[in-house]
Amino acid sequence: MLNISDKEFKQLADFIKANYGIYLKDEKQTLLTGRLSNVLEEKNFTSFADYFNYIVADKTGDAVVTLIDKITTNHTFFMREVDHFNFYRDKVLPQLASHSKTKDLRTWSAGCSSGEEPYTLAMIIDEFFGMDKKWWDTKILATDISTKVLDIALKGVYTSERIATIPANWKLNYFEKLEKEKSVLISKIRNEVIYRKFNLMDKTFPFKKKFHVIFCRNVMIYFDNQTKMDLVKKFYDLMEPGGYLFIGHSESLNRNETEYKYILPSIYRKELQV
The binder of ligand SAM chosen from 217, 228, 243, 266 (CB under 6 A): 217
The binder of ligand SAM chosen from 152, 186, 201, 238 (CB under 6 A): 201
Nearer to ligand SAM, 117 or 192 (CB): 117
What's the order of all strands across the beta sheet hosting 157-159?
157-159, 182-185, 175-177
For the CA atoms of 75, 81, 84, 87, the dihedral, rounded to the nearest 10 degrees, stands at 150
172 neighbors 101 (Cβ within 8 angstroms): no
Quote helix, strand, coil % in the chain, to nearest 5: 45, 20, 35
Nearer to ligand SAM, 100 or 165 (CB): 165
Residue 147 CB, nearest approach to ligand SAM (Å):
10
Residue 73 CB, nearest approach to ligand SAM (Å):
5
Question: Is 219 a residue that touches ligand SAM (CB under 6 A)?
Answer: yes
Handedness of CA 124, 215, 112, 35 (dihedral sign): negative
Distance (Å, rounded) from C-alpha 241 to C-alpha 88? 16
Question: Is 203 a residue that touches ligand SAM (CB under 6 A)?
Answer: no
DSSP code, position 92:
I
Question: Is 88 a residue that touches ligand SAM (CB under 6 A)?
Answer: no
Nearer to ligand SAM, 97 or 229 (CB): 229
Question: Is 173 a residue that touches ligand SAM (CB under 6 A)?
Answer: no
Question: Is 84 a residue that touches ligand SAM (CB under 6 A)?
Answer: no
Distance (Å, rounded) from C-alpha 22 to C-alpha 227? 9
**Bridge partner residues of 193 (DSSP):** 140
Window 115-134: residues binding ligand SAM (CB under 6 A): 117
Question: Is 76 a residue that touches ligand SAM (CB under 6 A)?
Answer: yes
Q: What is each CA distance from 60 to 63, 64, 198, in whole angstroms?
A: 8, 9, 18
Residue 178 CB, nearest approach to ligand SAM (Å):
23
Nearer to ligand SAM, 133 or 233 (CB): 233
Please measure the distance between the N-terminal and C-terminal CA atoms of the chain and give it in whole angstroms: 55
Footprint on this chain of ligand SAM (rule: CB under 6 A): 20-22, 72-76, 80, 111-113, 117, 144-146, 149, 199-201, 217-219, 222, 248
